[in-house]
Structure 1
């Protein structure tokens, strides 16, 4: 979790403490992709569940996070085991809340080629990122 706070802060260019992140550390390709997606956005209050219409807007960022687009908001779930996220796998979601996606839902990862179970994602809270209003 601490790594993700440092990543989100660094993504907005507001990193002020060298204790949060090593300035010489290289971002992974997934972290770079997420930083680009969140550029110009600020984090809101984390939620246990988000309303979703299907799963077409749910994306995997390899080794980093799951994202869900809802209008101008990008919801990010860093999961409790982000290293298991492999964008080559197919996500099979067992929802316990109908049209919402919640941290209690189970996300199975299935190998796209062989069809074997390759892992399970343990969801965490969903963090909304909204565009910064530059007018005013």
Structure 2
């Protein structure tokens, strides 16, 4: 004897299968921030993540809305996806409390301040920094 609950569960599974297949075949649409980051990293490959990066001079740490923080150092673009990327808002000011004068580390604190009202609007918790470097076209053609 088939129990009603088992029959209902099996029927639901059959109805849900076409919906799941349709979701997998639809193209994934990138957010504005994800598209901006993809464009920035085009032609680059990821290297070994690091917990700290050297930040010298007046180079800026840039926000990509809802996606990541980036830092350009020569040919390398360092990306920190953070532990809470949804909180990154490129319209807000970052106030960084560093624990080293020459490095930015995952232990540093970043507060977000509302640009117009001047009040604290959030925190960003850093993760490891991933270096992205350009692929040498000759090496890529050989490989």
TM range (shorter): 0.7 to 0.9
In structure 2, the CA distance between the partners of 1:116 and 1:55, relative to structure 1 (3 Å rule), is farther
Larger Rg: 2
Q: What is the CA RMSD across the aligned residues, in angstroms?
A: 1.5
- C-alpha distance in 2 between matches for 1:95 and 1:122: 13
- Which residue does the alignment assign to 1:135? 138
Cα distance, 1:46 vs. partner?
0.1
In structure 2, the CA distance between the partners of 1:61 and 1:22, relative to structure 1 (3 Å rule), is farther
Conserved? CA contact 1:54–1:99, under 8 Å: no
- Which structure: greater helix fraction? 2
- Which residue does the alignment assign to 1:40? 43
- Which residue does the alignment assign to 2:107? 104
Which of 46, 59, 79 in structure 2 is aligned with 1:76?
79
- C-alpha distance in 2 between matches for 1:87 and 1:93: 15
Structure 2 residue ranges without an equivalent (≥5): 1-23
Structure 1 residue ranges without an equivalent (≥5): 1-20
In structure 2, the CA distance between the partners of 1:55 and 1:95, relative to structure 1 (3 Å rule), is farther
Q: TM-score, normalised by structure 2?
A: 0.77
Paired residues, what number?
116
Q: Which runs of 4+ in 1 moved over 4 A?
A: none
Mapped pair 1:90 → 2:97? no
Cα distance, 1:54 vs. partner?
4.6
